[in-house]
Chain A
Amino acid sequence: DTEVTQTPKHLVMGMTNKKSLKCEQHMGHRAMYWYKQKAKKPPELMFVYSYEKLSINESVPSRFSPECPNSSLLNLHLHALQPEDSALYLCASSRGTVNTGELFFGEGSRLTVL
């Protein structure tokens, strides 16, 4: 099973809302990633968790708050977002050391901030 599952597929939220994106993998991968992708652009790395600990934060604004409850789950908590945060949010996982193994992506969560 080489699957990364993301929920919800679509999310619309106002600037005062609090919502969460969820990601799950059962491949035994110990590195998990959040990427943000704008239209016609490549994915941009936001956060990396390695063995359930935050390993990399690419200077992401605090209105994005990641959480890794266990080795299979990764959440991204959203609060007080701006319309420019509207994008496709992608979760990925890989085996072994951060950023060295084959990356497996989920289908993404399309976020619209009104």
Chain B
Amino acid sequence: KQEVTQIPAALSVPEGENLVLNCSFTDSAIYNLQWFRQDPGKGLTSLLLIQSSQREQTSGRLNASLDKSSGRSTLYIAASQPGDSATYLCAVIHGFDGGFKTIFGAGTRLFVKA
């Protein structure tokens, strides 16, 4: 059974710091992995999608890496800003019963202090 874990559950950093959010999964046979951002009471905004054949994806100050063999993905945020404060969720898409299923981690709540 695929399980997705995000550590830490919460993180507080000063503005300007580079930081890494972690996502681990128990079954390495994934189809792809997606990182989202969610502001309080709002929907999920897609940040990056990594296909299973890829090792990393970059968008602006964000870089996501994927290591299927070790069951890990990291989201690197460079030069953090107060506007980056949000909950970050990773979601793993894997094969299930002849189809595919999306499994979400519980998220990391990030607070960037000005």
The chain A residues found within 8 Å of chain B, CB to CB, are 2, 4, 6, 41-43, 45, 56, 88, 90, 92, 97-100, 102-108, 110
B33 to chain A, nearest CB (A): 11
Binding site for A on B (CB under 8 A): 31-32, 34, 36, 41-46, 49, 89, 91, 93, 99-102, 104-107
Q: Which B residues lie within 8 Å of A100 (CB)?
A: 31-32, 93, 100
Residue of B nearest to A41 (CB): B106
The interface residues of chain A, by DSSP majority, are classed as loop
A99 touches B93 (CB 8 A): yes
- Give CA–CA (A4, B41) in the complex, Å: 16
Interface contact B46-A104, CB-CB below 8 Å: yes
Contacts of A105 in B (CB 8 A): 36, 43-46
Complex: chain B residue closest to A104, CB-CB? B46
Asked whether, in the complex, the Cβ of A99 is within 8 Å of the Cβ of B34, the reply is: no
- A92 contacts across to B, CB distance below 8 A: 44
